[in-house]
Amino acid sequence: MSLLMTMADSSAQAAHPQRLRHAIIGVGAGIFNGHRPALALPTVDLVAVSDINATTGRLRADELQCAFYEDYRQMLAETQPEVVVILTPPFLHASMTRESLLAGSHVLVEKPMAIQVAEAAEMVETARRCQRLLGIVFQQRWRPEVMAARRLLQEGLLGEIQRVELTAVWTRPAFYYRMAPWRATWRGEGGGIVTNQASHHLDLLCYLLGSPRRVFAWTRNLLHQIETQDTVQAMLEWPDGALGTLHISTAEADDPERLKIVGTRGSLELGPGSLHVERLEVDLHEYARASQQPYARPARHPYAVSLDPGKGDHAAVYRSFHAAILHGDPGYVDGIQGCQELELANALIYSSYYHCEVELPLDSQLYAALLQRLQAQSASC
């Protein structure tokens, strides 16, 4: 009888999952439309939203049929949400996350989690002290081709990783930067392409290959009249000796993404919605030791990979975060992983400004001093 009751309870929970009280800070943000489908999940009970733009905020609240607050602190105190979603500009992420955690809420914050790694580390520590979860919105991890690539790499299909090449282009007009005064500023987002668009790709590098050990970077303004940078080019080295390059820009019109990973047993090339994999007949270590053909290459063959259905969207981020809150599942992007991406972004900027090789982990106090100097210079202009 007890087994039957347990099975019945499990079926009831599946049919009627627990709903978590959600509140959104910055509901007027453009990125809100990406989050909108996730609010229909059965685990979401949206109780309130806030925004400093009362007109837009009230319209969204009416549409979503929830309470509206201009003051997010008042919202936190009066509605006591279990989950706070933060969609505000990056320079507000650290302080709003801290206040939400201290109010007793779990926090899901848009990327980048902060503008410098010292702030991010404080956010992680606050979440630990408050015994609450801190999640970062990196929805591209749930793209089927990314999930398949990670699985193959974990299985060692490519052998020892030797080379990594990443290019990504997010073509933007000047109008994009004029839409919000904080964009591409040192105070608003702590950078331009490196902290904004590139954050997705830097996270994928850390997710698939781990954090690099050493970087050397160049940042440039190739097209846009902005305070920070529209292009980054870098060389990277991983602890196991793998070498890599990256090039990410809003100043070009090229393919949106190409990530190639080459190993001693094969290679993969990943793009939006695609994953092409090849395997060598023999590992290069064995080829180098035993081959009697001085100019012949090991034969390569396509390796079939099936991609799961789905897409890398915000609903996938919410599902993983809710599963962590309700069931302790570890599959969400936590604050420590968010710190890895941000540390890499900060290291690229530091390397470019001092024209030096930077070893990770980055000295967060040295970077804080650089950012403070850059912010002061922009304020005096």
Q: How many residues does the chain have?
A: 381
Task: Give CA–CA dist 46/48, Å, rounded.
Answer: 6
pLDDT at 41: 98
How confident is the model over 296-355, as pLDDT tens digits?
A: 999 999 999 999 998 899 999 999 999 999 999 999 999 999 999 999 999 999 999 999
**pLDDT tops 50 at residue 7:** no
Which sign does the torsion angle of CA 94, 248, 34, 185 carry? positive
Q: Tell me what the mean pLDDT of segment 50-74 comes to.
A: 98
Query: What is the torsional sign of CA 189, 193, 196, 202?
Result: negative
Taking Cα atoms as reference points, which of 62, 88, 81, 97 lies closest to residue 23?
Answer: 81
Confidence of residue 95 (pLDDT cuts 50, 70, 90): very high
Ramachandran assignment for 322, one of left (phi > 0), alpha (psi -120 to 50 degrees), beta (any other): alpha
Sorted by sequence, the CB contacts under 8 Å of residue 100 that are 6+ apart come out as: 25, 76, 84, 86, 107
3-state secondary structure of 211: coil
Is residue 6's pLDDT more than 50? no
pTM to 2 decimal places: 0.94
**How many beta carbons lie within 10 A of that of residue 292, not counting itself?**
5
What is the model's pLDDT at position 310? Answer: 87
The token pair at 58 is: 């009230």
Is 139:314 a contact under the CB 8 Å cutoff?
yes
Q: Cβ-count burial of 140 within 10 angstroms (0-12 exposed, 13-18 middle, 19+ buried)?
A: buried
Q: For 279-285, what is the mean pLDDT?
A: 97
Given the structure tokens 């604050």, which residue do they identify?
A: 335
What average pLDDT does range 249-260 have in this prediction? 97
Q: Which distant-in-sequence residues (6+ apart) come within 8 Å of 368 by Cβ?
A: 116, 118
- Whole-number mean pLDDT of the chain? 95
Domains and CATH numbers, the chain: 2-139 (3.40.50.720), 141-310+334-380 (3.30.360.10)
pLDDT band at 14 (very low <50, low <70, confident <90, very high): low
Residue 24 near residue 49, CB atoms below 8 Å:
yes
pLDDT of 376 > 50? The answer is: yes
User: In this structure, are residues 303 and 266 in contact, taking their beta carbons and an 8 Å threshold?
Assistant: yes
Tell me the pLDDT band of 380, cut-offs 50, 70 and 90.
confident
Which pLDDT score, from 0 to 100, does residue 379 have? 87
pLDDT surpasses 70 at 5? no
The rounded distance, in Å, linking the Cα atoms of 41 and 30 is 21
